[in-house]
Structure 1
Amino acid sequence: MSKKLAFFGATGTFGSRILTEALNRGYDVTAVVRPGASEPAVSHPNLKVTTGDVLDPASVAEAAKGAYAVVSAVGGGYTDGKAHAAFVRQAAQSLVEGLRTLGADAPRFVSVGGAGSLSTPDGKKVWDTPGLPELVTQVMHGQGEALDYLRTVTDVKWTHFSPAAQIEPGERTGAYRLGLDDLIIGADGNSRISAEDYAVAFVDELDEPKHVQKRFTVGY
């Protein structure tokens, strides 16, 4: 198996941890950043940085040539929920369109998703939780629409990875449980995962694909 990754969004909370985990496991990573944007904070002999635009299918295709997988952890910022949602939807479509141009040589596509569209034990969606700020629900619905789009795609090998309801920087334990469309609830009644263990599960999926053409989720 090739260990080459093209990585969009490698500098955020999720992306930076997935990047570190992948590098530590021997992947050769090309981080794709917008012109003038911040580069990953880590330095590693297996890390290269190039410029590109996730919203340009031609740029996606150029970055993806020869890669084993394209990773996307892009987001639109958390100051404007509608803009964030639109960006996430457009990025998903651009990534797919770019990979389509590579035909049979297209790498698989694994993206960071959202928890909002996961089902709760009472049969509702996480985004229906009372009291959520409007900004949060807008972002959640954008991720849900990106997933809805991916579920129409049959000619690109995509995987969409939703976190637990609560995710923040923490400890890397290497322990987690996986599910598909239902929120994973721990023995304490909470749905949570550290960003570090989310990254472990993400790279485990890169190592051994088990959720091609599927969304899956994680929790303790």
Structure 2
Amino acid sequence: MSKIALYGATGAIGSRVLDEALSRGHTVTAVVRDPAKLTRTHPNLRVVTGDALDPESVAEAAKGQDVVVSAVGGGDGPGHMATIRPSVESLVSALRTLGADAPRLVLVGGAGSLRVPGGKQVWDAEGLPDFVLQIMHAHGDALDYCRTVDDVRWTSLSPAATIEPGERTGSYRTATDDLVVDADGNSRISTEDYAVALLDEIEEPRHTGERFTVGY
């Protein structure tokens, strides 16, 4: 079992990652700015105060962990976009200070930069609201930054075009940079099955140093 430090544990995606990790027997340290917002209790859960934007705080929380998971910016509101790339830069900076003992970094990414048939990307679709486009491009900027990092073990997991709470089926399909769509051309994944895919990657790493995506 792994020791996991989790940022964003109170969010829509992070809370499912927390549930999935605990259900598999992993030990989770939820790093939150306001511990009062995380009311979940579990023998394998520890809640500490910290900030993904503070490298010193990150380094302290990451010591002794096997994996750091960041679900920061995994929401759908405009307030998230200002923290997406800066938090990734802070996490990488902190892990660098730990040298050979640094845990792996697993990031909740975005779908906007995924390719769709015809050579365009998801964010090229017509009619997307401005704040959604801004969040998509913020995730794209964070991924571009990650691709310059070769001294920290990182993985970014992009969701399908539509991700929302639903059923945990335990089934999904993966790709690297191409949007996963079903036979009807739909691209979707439940937050529960997204969390399954993320924990599967933690337990059996297949995408170190790259982005991958999941969908039905």
Which band: TM-score by shorter chain? over 0.9
How far is the alpha carbon of 1:210 from its aligned partner? Answer: 0.4
Q: How many positions carry a matched residue from both structures?
A: 216
Match of 2:7 in 1: 8
Residue 64 (structure 1) aligned with residue 65 (structure 2): no
Query: Following the alignment from structure 1 to structure 2, what is the Cα–Cα distance between the partners of residues 55 and 104?
Result: 22
Match of 1:129 in 2: 125
Match of 1:187 in 2: 183
Query: Following the alignment from structure 2 to structure 1, what is the Cα–Cα distance between the partners of residues 16 and 75?
Result: 18
Contact kept, 8 Å, 2:154 with 2:208, in 1: the verdict is yes
How far is the alpha carbon of 1:85 from its aligned partner? Answer: 2.5
Match of 1:24 in 2: 23
Match of 1:213 in 2: 209
1:14-51 deviation digits (Å, cap 9, x = unpaired): 000010000000110000011x3653342211000000
Tell me the amino acid that sits aligned with residue 60 of structure 2. Answer: E
Residue 146 (structure 1) aligned with residue 145 (structure 2): no
1:56-88 deviation digits (Å, cap 9, x = unpaired): 1111100000000000001286553xx532310
Taking structure 1 as the reference length, the TM-score comes to 0.95
1:164-215 deviation digits (Å, cap 9, x = unpaired): 0011000000010000000011012101111110000000000000000000
Query: Following the alignment from structure 1 to structure 2, what is the Cα–Cα distance between the partners of residues 40 and 189?
Result: 37
Q: Identity percentage over the alignment? A: 64
Structure 2 segments unaligned to the other structure (5+ residues)? none
Report the RMSD for the aligned CA atoms in angstroms.
1.3
Contact kept, 8 Å, 2:10 with 2:37, in 1: the verdict is yes
Contact kept, 8 Å, 1:159 with 1:215, in 2: the verdict is yes
How far is the alpha carbon of 1:3 from its aligned partner? Answer: 1.4
Match of 1:49 among 30, 47, 50: 47
How far is the alpha carbon of 1:53 from its aligned partner? Answer: 1.1
Taking structure 2 as the reference length, the TM-score comes to 0.96
Match of 2:160 in 1: 164
Tell me the amino acid that sits aligned with residue 75 of structure 1. Answer: G
Query: Following the alignment from structure 1 to structure 2, what is the Cα–Cα distance between the partners of residues 189 and 215?
Result: 22
Match of 2:38 in 1: 40
45-54 vs 68-77, greater mean Cα deviation: 68-77
Runs of 4+ in 1 over 4 A off after TM superposition: 76-79
Tell me the amino acid that sits aligned with residue 26 of structure 1. Answer: G
Residues 79-98 of structure 1 mapped to structure 2, 5 A cutoff: 79-80=77-78, 84-98=80-94
SS at match of 1:7: strand
